[in-house]
Structure 1
Amino acid sequence: MPDSSTRDGSSALPKGFQGAKRWLNQLVDFEKTRLRRFSAVEMKLERMQKLMHALGNPQDSVRCIHVAGTNGKGSVSHMVDNMMRGIGYTVGRYTSPHLTDVRERIAVGGMEIDKTAFGDVITKVAEAAQGIDFEPTFFEALTAAAFVHFEAEAVDLAVIEVGLGGRLDCTNIIHPVLTIITKLDIDHAPILGDTLAKIAAEKAGIMKSGAPCFTLQQEPEALEALEARAKEVGCDLYVLGREIEFSRRFGTEDDKGSHCRICVIRDDRQYMHIPAPAPGEHQAINTGLAIAVVDELRQSEFTGDEQGMLEKLAQTDFPGRMELIHPAPRIIGDGAHNPSAIGAFIRSIGGHIPFDSMVCVIGCCEDKDIDGILTEAARGGDKFFFTKAKSNPRAADPRDLQRRFQELSGKMSQVADDLPTALLEASKAVGRDDIICVIGSYYLAGEAKQWLADRRAAKEAAATPS
Structure 2
Amino acid sequence: MTLHALFSPSKPRPDTIDLGLGRVSRLVSLVSALASLPPTVHIAGTNGKGSVSSYIDSILRSAGFRTGRFNSPHLVDVWDSIRIDGEPVTQVQYNASRAEIERVDAEHELGSSLFEILTVTAFYIFAVASPPLDIIILEVGLGGRLDATNVLAPENTLGTVITSVSLDHQAFLGNTVEEVASEKAGIIKSGVGCVVAPQESESVVNRIREIGIQAGASHIELVQKATLVVEEEILSDTDRLVPLWGKSGHPLVEITLPFERTTLKARLPLAGDYQLSNVSVAVALIDQLRHLSTSHPTATTDARITLIHRLANIDSCKIGAGIERTSWAGRLEWVSFPIPGSVSSRPLRLLVDGAHNASAAIALRAYIDNLSPAPRRVIFVLAFSAGKDLHALLSLMLRPGDALACTGFGKVEDMPWVQPAPVGEIGKAAVQAAGLDPEEVEHFEGAEGLGNALGWAAGLQDCGSGATAEPRGNEDLIVLAGSLYVVAELYRLRRGEVV
2:188 to 207, 212, 215: 207
The whole-number CA distance in structure 2 between the counterparts of 1:261 and 1:108 is 28
Letter in 1 for 2:182: A
Aligned position for 2:351: 332
Letter in 2 for 1:117: Q
Aligned position for 1:370: 390
Q: Is contact 2:195-2:222 (8 Å) kept?
A: yes
The whole-number CA distance in structure 2 between the counterparts of 1:375 and 1:249 is 33
Aligned position for 2:210: 228
Letter in 2 for 1:342: A
Question: 1:298 aligned to 2:290?
Answer: yes
Shift of 1:234: 1.1
The whole-number CA distance in structure 2 between the counterparts of 1:387 and 1:262 is 41
1:359 to 367, 379, 382: 379
Shift of 1:211: 0.7
2:328 to 310, 314, 318: 318
Q: Is contact 1:88-1:304 (8 Å) kept?
A: no
Question: 1:421 aligned to 2:449?
Answer: no
Letter in 2 for 1:98: H
The secondary structure found in structure 1 opposite 2:149 is: coil
Aligned position for 2:487: 445
Question: 1:174 aligned to 2:152?
Answer: yes
TM-score (norm 2): 0.79
Gapped regions of structure 1 (runs ≥ 5):
1-26, 458-466
Shift of 1:135: 2.3
The whole-number CA distance in structure 2 between the counterparts of 1:111 and 1:295 is 25
Question: 1:163 aligned to 2:141?
Answer: yes
Letter in 2 for 1:157: I
Aligned position for 1:272: 264
Shift of 1:82: 0.4
Question: 1:386 aligned to 2:367?
Answer: no
Quickly say closer, same or farther: Cα 1:380–1:268, change in 2 above 3 A.
Answer: farther
Q: Is contact 1:181-1:214 (8 Å) kept?
A: yes
Quickly say closer, same or farther: Cα 1:151–1:184, change in 2 above 3 A.
Answer: same
RMSD, matched Cα:
2.3
Shift of 1:409: 2.6
Gapped regions of structure 2 (runs ≥ 5):
1-11, 232-243, 293-307, 338-346, 413-417, 463-470
Q: Is contact 1:60-1:174 (8 Å) kept?
A: no
Q: Percent identity?
A: 27
The whole-number CA distance in structure 2 between the counterparts of 1:339 and 1:253 is 25
Shift of 1:265: 3.6
TM-score (norm 1): 0.85
Q: Is contact 1:362-1:385 (8 Å) kept?
A: yes
Quickly say closer, same or farther: Cα 1:216–1:380, change in 2 above 3 A.
Answer: farther
Aligned position for 1:435: 477
Query: Once the two structures are superposed, what CA deviation does each residue of 1:318-350 show, in whole Å capped at 9, x if it has no partner?
Result: 111112232522122211110110111222233
The secondary structure found in structure 2 opposite 1:257 is: coil
The secondary structure found in structure 1 opposite 2:203 is: helix
Q: Is contact 1:366-1:395 (8 Å) kept?
A: yes
The whole-number CA distance in structure 2 between the counterparts of 1:214 and 1:443 is 29
Quickly say closer, same or farther: Cα 1:439–1:333, change in 2 above 3 A.
Answer: same
Q: Is contact 1:67-1:179 (8 Å) kept?
A: yes
Letter in 2 for 1:401: I
Shift of 1:77: 0.4
Aligned position for 1:3: none
Aligned position for 2:253: 261
Question: 1:137 aligned to 2:120?
Answer: no
The whole-number CA distance in structure 2 between the counterparts of 1:152 and 1:380 is 54
Letter in 1 for 2:159: L
The whole-number CA distance in structure 2 between the counterparts of 1:342 and 1:59 is 42
Aligned position for 1:346: 365
Task: Tell me the number of residue pairs that the alignment of Structure 1 and Structure 2 aligns.
Answer: 419
Shift of 1:406: 0.9
The whole-number CA distance in structure 2 between the counterparts of 1:254 and 1:72 is 23
Q: Is contact 1:184-1:200 (8 Å) kept?
A: yes
Shift of 1:29: 5.2
Shift of 1:157: 0.4
Q: Is contact 2:160-2:195 (8 Å) kept?
A: yes
Aligned position for 1:123: 99
Shift of 1:275: 2.1
2:273 to 255, 275, 281: 281
The whole-number CA distance in structure 2 between the counterparts of 1:364 and 1:110 is 29
Aligned position for 1:216: 197
The whole-number CA distance in structure 2 between the counterparts of 1:305 and 1:263 is 14
Alignment of 1:11-90 (within 5 A): 33=16, 42-56=18-32, 58=34, 61-90=37-66
Query: Once the two structures are superposed, what CA deviation does each residue of 1:102-138 show, in whole Å capped at 9, x if it has no partner?
Result: 1210001011101221122112112111222232222
Query: Once the two structures are superposed, what CA deviation does each residue of 1:165-224 show, in whole Å capped at 9, x if it has no partner?
Result: 001001111131110010011000011100001000001110001111111222122112
